[in-house]
Amino acid sequence: MIELCMALSLFFVIATAMPVVASEVWWVRVFDFPRLQLFTLSSFLVSVELLLLDITAPATLALAALGSLCAASQLARILPFSPLWKKQVRQARRDDAGSAVSVLVANVLTSNRDAGPLLAFIQQQAPDVIVGLETDPWWEGQLAPLAQRYPHRLQQAQDNLYGMHLLSRYPLEDASVENLVQSDVPSMHALLRLPCGAGVRLHALHPAPPFPGENPVSQPRDVEILVVARSLQHHTGPTIVAGDLNDVPWSRTLRSFLATSGLGDPRRGRGLYNSFHAAHRLLRWPLDHVFVSHHFSVRRIVRSANIGSDHFAYLVGLALDTSAEGFEDAAASGGKTTAWTRDKLQDEAVAVEDVPTPKGQ
């Protein structure tokens, strides 16, 4: 029994240490994702050790202490995304339709050939902006009937899992489709004009993940995310970045993204709202995101039921308040992470100037 506990403890130590390793290979970076699962399992192992092993034995106490440290390390990353933590983006206190905007991120899964559940969710929630991902020509046809309600759009249907459709009730100015890092992975950029007249800088992203068959390393994903962050570093106007970022909010990449861009995460202090994997209840984490500048407060967050994809759709309703001066919880900022962003991009071909800067604000 103690030999099994020692082997499992060693695994949890390795799994806990891996996210700290600077390596970009996929099998190292994959340990960024299951922190909730690792916290649960390592806590369970500690309980088993204290119940079934000789509690007076030094080996038992050492194993329990080691497991507790692993569990505490995992908990430290995920706890800020629980309702026990202070909200980073404040709760909306007024309801002004002219300054409200809701953003839906929906990775449809290209092979999914039942658009009904997603269209029903859109009908029910009536988002103002839809970021559709993995959309191919078939999905473009399924979204076509939404044109009357969403007349402003950017469309890039692709068969390689990286098609993207940006649909909006409100005008999209200076809108463009860009391939920032990889030639077959588009992103979309525009100035969203709200009914109140305010312009909101909007970036929709879906970088390729570090995974066999996609990218063996995380570099392309990280660079796309971080170059957008650098482009926002000195931007002072309302901003929204949305999409399936193929990364979790506690990773070094997304913490650096928030610190560099100055944006906040509506999830922080509200809940995980795990958006992937829809088919595996015990293996889920938040991959789809809506990040916002301090000009916004949160009206609602909604995760869909199963829409036939491996992702749940993720909707964030926002209210614009240009008088707001900062976030309620600015814990995501930090000099070390912004320096890491700078170093990460230093030798890359893509530059901040490659990210479109919508005019008109």
Confidence band for 40, pLDDT divided at 50, 70 and 90:
very high
- What is the average pLDDT value for the chain, to the nearest integer? 93
State pLDDT tens for residues 14-28.
999 999 988 899 999
3-state secondary structure of 253: helix
Share of the chain above pLDDT 90, in %: 81
Tell me the backbone φ, ψ of residue 294, rounded to 5 degrees: -70, -5
Beta bridge partners of 244: 288
Nearest 5°: CA angle at 272, between 274 and 180?
65
SS3 content of the chain, % helix, strand, coil (to 5): 35, 20, 40
pLDDT tops 70 at residue 335: no
State pLDDT tens for residues 180-223.
999 999 999 999 999 999 999 999 999 999 988 788 999 999 99
3-state secondary structure of 290: strand
Beta bridge partners of 200: 192
Nearest C-alpha neighbor of 2 from the set 69, 60, 82, 62: 60
Nearest C-alpha neighbor of 321 from the set 99, 147, 170: 99
pLDDT tops 70 at residue 342: yes
State pLDDT tens for residues 135-185.
999 999 999 999 999 999 999 999 999 999 999 999 999 999 999 999 999
Q: Where is 49: in which H helix or E strand?
A: helix 35-52
The pLDDT, as a whole number, for residue 354 is 80
**Mean pLDDT value across residues 252-266:** 95
pLDDT tops 60 at residue 333: no
Contacts of 117 (CB under 8 A, 6+ apart): 304, 305, 306, 307, 308
Confidence band for 256, pLDDT divided at 50, 70 and 90:
very high
pLDDT tops 60 at residue 361: no
**Mean pLDDT value across residues 66-78:** 96
